[in-house]
Structure 1
Amino acid sequence: MPDPAHRIRDWLATYDSPATSVAHLLCDRHDPDRVATTQIGPDLAPTTLTFGELAERSRALAAGLAETGITAGDRVATLVPKGIDLTVTALAVWRLGAVLVPLLSSFAPSAVQERLIGSGARLVVADDDNRAKLDAPSPAWQVATTGPAPLRDGDRTLTDLARPGAAVDDAAVGGDGLMALLYVSSLVGPARGVPVPVRALAAMHSYHHHGLGVRDQDVYWNTAAPGTAYGLYHGLISPLLAGHASLALRAGFFDPELTLDVLGMYGVTNLASDPTTYRTLRAATKTLPPEVVVERMASFGEPLAPDVTDWVRDVFGVPVRDHYGQTELGWCVGVPNGDTGQDGAEPARGSIGPALPGWKVSVLEALTDEPAPLGAYGRVALDLARSPLAWFEGYLDNDSASRLRFTPDRSYYLTGDTGILDRQERLFFSTRDDGAILSRGYRVGPSEVEAVLSEHPAVQECGVYSLPDELAGQLVAARVVLEAGAQEGGELARELKAWVAERFATHAAPERIDFVPELPRTASGKMRRARLR
């Protein structure tokens, strides 16, 4: 069996080649009779798609997309839940060498359209529930829908677009070619676009194998939304890359009983989910049904509290591995579930674990780019020269100043987090220093919420911050200074929450709004975010 370093070199050589074709790697090289994905409806009924069916359907759709003018490098956005339609659409886009722009269904129309304009999307594929978010006075994008709902002028369904039997030449875009564009929230200003090159497949495959430890015989379920990095990288891409079957639940809500039903009915053996799922399961579950047979578990998005990890081990009988990563990296730190020679190793209490194969994590001094002493707090960074799987080179429009650092001796990616490395080089996460709020598995930029709140006629200014919550991890909260004559109270607070949900995103709507006479500020007038709470 090859060691991790040898395996990673092989993946890098395969995925960073001028001849690299994404559709071949994710679909065509696999056994056509093997199941690629199983879509589970709200009634728990399954619909399966084999790799052979995926190849046939994605070729037919790619031919139809090509007729509409989509070609290599074009951006195609999706507002589609996880499942067969999304999988077929993504493969069709990649056959043409185009770039997938997955968007969150929880975004309001204004946030959706901001990202469509910023990405330069030429086509948007949406399901019936999200179609209305695409209406604009003079949209620059075409629209294709997945369902049978009445079509607007100019819309076409995926079925209408498909050209069964048509020949399609799969594009070879190479390792530096783009395959996806994702957006991340930031403390200041609008969301930033993260271009994902094809060579990032090596990092995704490595985490799938080493971090998640998914095996050929596993039933793998990743609960993350496909508009998030974890949902795209490891709910859609990495299972296809490895030729593994995965589950896609099409319920529009989270329900602990439904989750347990899926785990038991489908015999899930490998589960990847966010801390909110584990916390909610703990609150609602005393004992597991006997048919639940999960063998490997992973968590992403934020550190798990020790009491949650203890509960998972007590109830499921296996540990849940807490893994650390970002949209710009993939997932790169944590105790592995796969065959790295560290199987079964338990992390120190409170630590996430060591860097996964292919990565080198460092902690830098607060004010310099020098490594901090072991055991000292500092800024968490990735040593790029010693991280062969690193792929991020800058945000859309080449805005990279806040993440990449180059010194005479080292090049680093700054994560925006703080923490400690112990003598075994295990990472102890401390805090985020970029102000991002992690709520129910979503990353929320305070400035984006502030910008929307400030558009309300009753709001003079506001400050957005996080509140700890037992289930959600963090909740979005706001301090609001009202315009003269505005009447504070519960009715206005509910109106402001709905205002954010309707104009930005439901997951970013403040759960708590306090009306205050002024915001805390420094002598120079800058808002003191640390004092908002």
Structure 2
Amino acid sequence: MPDPAQHVADWLATYDTPTTSVAHLLCDRHDPHTTAITEIGPTLTPTTLTFGELSERSRALATGLADLGINQGDRVATLLPKGIDLAVTALAVWRLGGTLVPLLSSFAPSAIDDRLRGSNAALVVCLDEHRNKLDPRTTDNPTWQIATVGPEPTRNGDHTLADLSRRGTGPTPDTAVGGHGTIAIAFVSGLAGPPRGVVIPARALAAMHSYHHYGLGVEDEDVYWNTSDPGSAYGLYHGLISPLLAGHGSLALRAGFFDPELTLDVLGMYQVTNLATDPTTYRTLRAAIKTLPPEIVVQRLSSAGEQLSPEVIDWATDMFGVPVRDHYGQTELGWCAGVPNGDTGEPDQPLVPGAVGGSLPGWQVRVLEAISDEPAPVGAYGRVGVDLAASPLSWFTGYLDNEAASQVRFTPEGDYYLTGDTGILDREGRLHFSTRDDGAILTHGYRIGPAEVESVLNEHPAVDECGVYSVPDEIAGQLVGARIVPANGYENGDALADELREWVRSRLAPHAAPAEIDFVEELPRTASGKMRRARLR
């Protein structure tokens, strides 16, 4: 078996070339008779798609998209759940050398509109039920065309995937984008400003394949299920891309909601052996179930998004008979640290309470001093950074239309990607994650920027000013809290608080609505007028 360093080198040599073709790597090179995706409906009825069928259907759609005017470099946004429609659409876009922009369907119309305009999308593909979210928020005309999944167009001027797949005038050759060609844009929220678009090049496929193999430990005989939404990085990288890249089948549940009993039904009925999900799922399962049905045979568990508590890890170990491996990463990196589920050739790392684990193959995570870029002493708190010279799988260079905010530092001490997180490294090289210092709120597996919520709240006439912060929660991890300075003439109380929650739900997303709202006379500020966010709590 090749050692991890050789595996990483081989993946880079395969995926980072001038002739890199994403559709070939994710589809055409695999056995056409092998199942690529098993889509599970709300009644647990399966629909399967082989790699051969994925190739045929994506080629037909690519021809239709080309006839529509979609070319290399064009950006196609999706409001689709994981499953067959998303896979066919993504492969069709990549055959043309286009860029996929997956969005969370839970976003409100204005939030979707902002991301579509920010990405300069040429086309949006959505479920019929989300079509009404695409009406423009402003008076200027949108630049994107719209295609829906249903058999008939929802509005005049719309297209359908079925019609586009039939209307092509001839076969369209695949476009090679090369290792540095852009294949996707994923939006992330931070403390200030609008969401930033992470530009994902084809060479990032090597990092995704490595995590799939070593972090998740997915093997050929596994039944693999990643529950994350494809609008999130974990769902995009390892729900859609990495299983296709490795030629592995994966499950995609089209339920539209999370239900603990339904999750157990899928685990048991489909004999899932490898489960990758988020901490909220584990916490919800822990709160909802007391015993595990005997037909569940999970052998590997992974978690990403935020650190699991020792109590949840102990519960998973007792309930499933295997530990859940906590993994650390970001949209800008993929997942780069944790206790691997795959065989690295090294002795199994013990699970240490409070520790995520060490650097995964192809990465070197370090903790830097608070002021300098020198490595911090063992056991000392500092800034978590990725040593780029020692991390051949690193790929991030900058944000969409904002390369200056790349968080990459070039210094005499070394070149680092600064994650914005803090923590310590122990003597065995395990990362003990401490806090995020970018102010993002992780709720129910979603990442929310306080500035986005504040911007929406400030549009309400009853709000003079506001400050948003995180509230600890046993199930969600964190919830959104808000301090509101009311405008003159508005009466504080539960009615106004409920109105403001609905305001955020309808203009941003349900998971962004403040769970706690307090009305105050003023916000805590420094002498220079800057908001003191730590005091909001």
TM-score by length of 2: 0.98
In structure 2, the partner of 1:4 is: 4
Check the 8 A contact 2:80/2:105 in 1, yes or no.
yes
1:145 alignment counterpart: 148
Per-residue deviation, 1:370: 1.4
* Residue 516 (1) aligns with residue 523 (2): no
SS at structure 2 position matched to 1:241: helix
| C-alpha displacement of 1:507 | 1.4
Q: Which among 150, 155, 177 is matched to residue 158 of structure 2? A: 155
Q: What residue identity is the alignment partner of 2:522?
A: E
Query: How do 1:278-357 and structure 2 match up within 5 A?
Result: 278-342=282-346, 344-357=348-361
CA distance in 1 between partners of 2:182 and 2:403 (Å): 17
**Given the alignment of the two structures, is residue 20 of structure 1 paired with residue 5 of structure 2, yes or no?**
no
Change in Cα spacing, 1:401 to 1:77, as seen in structure 2 (3 Å) is closer
Aligned to 1:210: 214
Q: Which residue does 2:62 correspond to in 1?
A: 62
Structure 1 residues 529 and 149, CA gap change in structure 2 (3 angstroms): farther
Matching residue of 2:400: 396
3-state SS of 1:66 partner: helix
Show the counterpart of 1:79. Answer: 79
Which residue does 1:120 correspond to in 2? 120
1:52/1:166 CA distance change after superposition, 3 Å: farther
Name the aligned partner's letter for residue 338 of structure 1. G
Q: Distance in 2 between matches of 1:367 and 1:9?
A: 34
SS in 2 for 1:271: strand
2:405 is paired with a residue of what secondary structure?
A: coil
Q: Name the CA distance, whole Å, in 1 between partners of 2:515 and 2:230.
A: 24
**Cα displacement (A) at 1:149:** 5.7
Matched residue SS, 1:513: strand
Contact 1:362 1:421 in 2 (8 A): yes
1:489 paired to 2:490: no
- 1:382-441 Cα deviation digits (max 9, x unpaired): 000100000000111133336111102310000010000011110000000010000010
Mapped partners of 1:56, 1:528: distance in 2: 56
- Return the match for 1:423 from 407, 424, 427: 427
Equivalent-residue separation in structure 1 for 2:503 and 2:478 (angstroms): 20
**Matches of 1:527 and 1:309, distance apart in 2:** 37
1:233-248 superposed matches below 5 A: 233-248=237-252
Q: Is the 8 A contact 2:153 2:160 kept in 1?
A: no
Tell me the amino acid that sits aligned with residue 2 of structure 2: P
- The residue number in structure 2 matching 1:39 is 39
CA shift at 1:484, angstroms? 1.1
2:437 is equivalent to residue 433 of structure 1: yes
Q: Which moved more, 1:63-72 or 1:149-158?
A: 149-158
SS in 1 for 2:322: coil
TM norm structure 1: 0.99
1:168, CA displacement in angstroms? 1.9
Identity of aligned residues (%): 72
Does the Cα contact within 8 Å between 1:202 and 1:389 map onto a contact in 2? Answer: yes
Q: In the alignment, which residue of structure 1 is the partner of 2:414?
A: 410
The match for 1:168 is 172
- Give CA-to-partner distance per residue, 1:89-119, whole Å, 9 cap, x none: 0000000000000000111111101111110
Q: What letter is aligned with 1:296?
A: R
The number of residues matched between the two structures is 533
For the 8 Å contact 1:336–1:343, the answer to whether it is kept is no
Match of 2:93, as an amino acid?
V
Q: Name the structure 2 match of 1:275.
A: 279
Contiguous gaps of at least 5 residues in structure 1: none
Contact 2:76–2:98, Cα closer than 8 Å, also in 1: yes
Q: Find the counterpart in structure 1 of residue 365 from structure 2.
A: 361
Contact 2:131 2:154 in 1 (8 A): no
Which range moves more in the overlay, 198-207 or 520-529?
A: 520-529
Deviation (angstroms), 1:342: 3.6
Residue identity opposite 1:283 in structure 2: A
Preserved CA contact (<8 Å) 1:60 1:165? no
Separation in structure 2 between the aligned mates of residue 268 and residue 511 of structure 1, nearest angstrom: 35
What does 1:451-470 correspond to in 2, within 5 Å? 451-470=455-474
Q: Tell me the residue number matched to 2:196.
A: 192
**Residue in 2 aligned with 1:90?**
90
Deviation at 1:277, TM superposition (A): 0.3
CA contact (8 A) 1:59 1:166 kept: no
Q: Distance in 1 between matches of 2:346 and 2:435?
A: 27
Over aligned residues, Cα RMSD in angstroms?
1.1
Instruction: Specify the code of the residue in structure 2 equivalent to 1:220.
Output: Y
AA in 2 matched with 1:333? A
On the 8 A contact 1:336/1:342 being kept in 2, the answer is no
Residue type matched to 1:199 in 2?
Answer: R
Structure 2 stretches of 5 or more lacking a match? none
Matching residue's letter, 2:127: D
Aligned-partner SS, 2:404: coil
Question: How has the CA–CA distance of structure 1 residues 302 and 199 changed in structure 2, closer, same or farther, with 3 Å as cutoff?
Answer: same
In structure 2, what is the equivalent of residue 177 of structure 1?
A: 181
Task: Judge conservation of contact 2:374–2:413 (CA < 8 Å) in 1.
Answer: no
